[in-house]
Amino acid sequence: MGWFDSLKKERHQEVETLSQSVEEIAEESNEEAYEDLEEVENAAVVEREVQPKSARDYSEVVSTPIKSYKDKKPVQHVIGQTKIVAIINQKGGVGKSTTAINLSAALGEMGKQVLLVDLDPQGNSSSGLGIDKSAIQNCVYDVLLNDVPIQDVIIPDVCEGLDLVPATINLAGAEVELVAEMARENRLKDAVGSLRGKYDYIMIDCPPSLGLLTVNALVAADKLLIPIQCEFYALEGVTKLLDSMKRVKNRLNPTLDIYGVLLTMYDGRTVLARQVVDEVRNYFGKTVFNTLIPRTVKLSEAPSFGQPITQYDPSGKGAQSYIDLAKEVISRG
């Protein structure tokens, strides 16, 4: 028992020593804190000029004024046959909206009259062109379900030669509401059909699904432009899209066909991307565009500035790729 008593005594002394050390450290810390506080109180106040907000502030970007169709600039050339092209892929994140914005803008800068119809409830094409969706009174939803004339919804001259039919979150309910409507598959066709002869190209940015909105786009369109991401599973889901296209072609739109397949987000440094390009070209043949859309930071940044890539980074490879694509589109007629 004597040995255990001595052990307890040593432990007790160690605890007391440790407690004293902690108290000393705390006192020293308090003294240093008081000294720091005195220094802060005695510090001089220095006034600095406030730097202006960065151009990346999104609230400043979405400031394009909402104009009406009657304010549209006069067309300087004779419009030929209007081509209605649906940019479509049921897989999300493949570059549909990016292609819709930048291809339309590139065509507009080449002297064409282009109308971009934003048929995606997310409204990425609208916000990507600098439109404040909270200031929109009527959108494509009202055209489809409230019989609002499409001219009353068009926002003209968002870019050179480019007009826009915007989308808002209201469009999210259109899939359900269209079910009970008469001629529900032809709503968009009837609306854009009245604009033939007023635009060289009407581009439709489709939602990433095969619902009634997409069916409306398939019925309204003359041709399909299918963006395919240069990644694994690139062709997965495209077969279902082609099946839907065939059914619509057989029953509702006999002229519907593939206008072109566009390879997006291409990174030539990876073997996988090159393999996907070869696989897609073997599958679709000559319908694949020669232009490859690269994966670039500038293409990702441009929508947050409310500008197409041809304005945001006109000398970059992203802008050049969409200019080359626009030339291919024009050459295909």
Domain boundaries, the chain: 77-332
Interacting residues of 329 by C-beta distance below 8 A, sequence separation 6+: 103, 107, 201, 260
Length of the chain: 333
Q: What are 60-65's contacts with CB under 8 Å, separation 24+?
A: 61/130, 61/304, 61/305, 61/306, 62/127, 62/130, 62/131, 62/132, 62/306, 63/130, 63/132, 63/306, 64/129, 64/130, 64/131, 64/132, 64/155, 64/158, 64/306
Predicted pLDDT of residue 13? 55
**How high is the pLDDT of residue 258?**
94
Backbone φ, ψ for residue 167 (5° rounding): -125, 145
- For 137, the 3-state DSSP assignment is coil
Reading across the β-sheet that carries 223-229, which strands appear in turn? 155-159, 162-165, 114-118, 201-205, 83-87, 223-229, 257-266, 288-294
User: Residue 73: which region, alpha, beta or left (left: phi > 0; alpha: psi -120 to 50)?
Assistant: beta
What is the reported pLDDT for 24?
A: 52
For the chain, which residues score pLDDT lower than 50?
1-8, 11-12, 14-15, 17-19, 21-22, 25-26, 29-30, 32-34, 36-37, 39-41, 43, 45-46, 48, 50-64
Q: Which fold has domain 77-332?
A: Rossmann fold (3.40.50)
* Calpha distance 191→46 (Å, rounded): 62
pLDDT for the residue numbered 56: 44
Could you give the CA distance from residue 291 to residue 266 in angstroms, rounded to a whole number? Answer: 10
d(CA 22, CA 24): 5
Classified as helix, coil or strand, 124 is helix
What pLDDT does residue 20 have? 53
pLDDT of residue 8: 44
Q: Rounded distance, CA 69 to CA 148, Å?
A: 13
pLDDT at 275: 92
Crossing angle of the two packed helices 317-332 and 96-109, in degrees rounded to 10: 70
- Return the pLDDT at 61: 43
